[in-house]
Structure 1
């Protein structure tokens, strides 16, 4: 009889080890913008209270709510145009509300477009667009103009580079304002009611620009009264009421099955007004 030891049974393997294709789930990407417990007051009035927000890369977040609900103030705080009273804000993992942070350097990474175009009337379209890249980023004139003309062509404004703003329609001026924000190659684009000052027939051309930017993967936060557009383009919708993010979710969740009675009342009025 052989004295060789009996063969040992192989040790059991975990399901992951047994399957050569199994992978550990990837961690979600870090948010581009994160706001935590943000509070902002003007005088004795609380405009934002305990606001939290996370914006993932290459997504669109729509802020909706009645006028005065805090949407514009939230955007201005995100770009450090307003100092917050409490809480913290991070951009790409850096706490930008830390008093030691160079706020000008932060703003160079964020593009902002307001409902008022804020174009310099004494400068041509090209001069308006190239001002920040040259003065803030140190681009040469040739670099800045080349990039500006590429953006103008892409947004259907190639023939307007040498025009002055008062020669443009409202929709064209707003598209120039978007080009100016994009010219600094922002990490994040904030859009504050960018169609509010436009005639109804001009709204579509500006919204088409936002659609194209979404297709390109631009990370955006937009405050809007265009509910149908928010439902179409947003990945996340936040309903603000009295300075609080009362409800958030995908467009399907928030518009299709809102959980808060205040959200339901707001959306009912929007539907009754024919805006959704």
Structure 2
């Protein structure tokens, strides 16, 4: 079996006296989709921020293609250039057009030819149903359209791993489907994805592995049909019961 693309080993993260991650172990293999589920405060977003080196870990390691990227001697900016990250907030540059938002990093950070990058970006926007929005500014787009642009921007750097942090949680319900459809297509094309989500039905359909975070640890992990359909741990069952009551499963 090949080594995982992203390998989280015993990661601990504290904020003051609060221990958020208590020794998390998690692996994401090539072309796999791993969905992180868990209640608010379980550590999903913190784990993604540690994986993307936006937070420093207090203990443990994060390996990207076998390299310990949490080693302080590693160039964090160089590592981030190998990752695509999308957050709840779209974080688009408001003074730049959609096309410029998508092409900025590949041209300026990665130094690729502008014409080549623009051609790729236009093709990507077309796949996402945004071909006619390339010249628009973000404030002219709906929330769902802005989030699709954010995904296109993350993919534009040709990342080894795409990290998605609750990307539909800030959207109106009627816009969620269009964003999830894009993620489903990206996953079908073989992108390696680690995503935090509260969309359990989507996780069941798309993920290869579902990992339940509780109390700062991965309490249960396995195929979606097992974790979501027949969980072993009592705390997983209680969490899913609350999700069912809320109409999300």
1:168 aligns with 2:146: no
Mapping 1:40-55, distance limit 5 Å = 40-55=13-28
1:185 to 154, 158, 173: 158
| Structure 2: stretches of 5+ with no match in the other structure | none
Mapping 1:143-162, distance limit 5 Å = 143-162=116-135
2:182 to 209, 229, 242: 209
Partner of 2:105: 132
SS at match of 2:228: helix
1:109 aligns with 2:82: yes
Partner of 1:20: none
Q: Cα deviations across residues 236-264 of structure 1 (Å, max 9, x unaligned)?
A: 00000121111111101101211111111
Mapping 1:27-66, distance limit 5 Å = 28-66=1-39
RMSD after superposition: 0.7
2:233 to 260, 270, 273: 260
Q: Cα deviations across residues 150-197 of structure 1 (Å, max 9, x unaligned)?
A: 111111111110000011111100000000000000010000000011
Q: Cα deviations across residues 83-102 of structure 1 (Å, max 9, x unaligned)?
A: 00000110011111111111
Structure with larger Rg: 1
Distance 2:4 2:234 in 1: 29
Q: 4+ runs of 1 displaced by more than 6 Å? A: none
SS at match of 1:61: strand
1:246 to 213, 219, 231: 219
Offset of residue 143 of structure 1: 2.0
Q: Cα deviations across residues 123-163 of structure 1 (Å, max 9, x unaligned)?
A: 10011111111111001221221111111111111111000
Offset of residue 56 of structure 1: 0.7
| Structure 1: stretches of 5+ with no match in the other structure | 1-27
SS at match of 1:269: helix
Question: How many correspondences in the alignment?
Answer: 249
Distance 1:218 1:96 in 2: 20
Offset of residue 75 of structure 1: 0.4
* TM score, norm. by length of structure 2: 0.98
Select the structure with the greater relative contact order (CA < 8 A; seq sep ≥ 6).
2
* TM score, norm. by length of structure 1: 0.89
Distance 1:69 1:254 in 2: 17
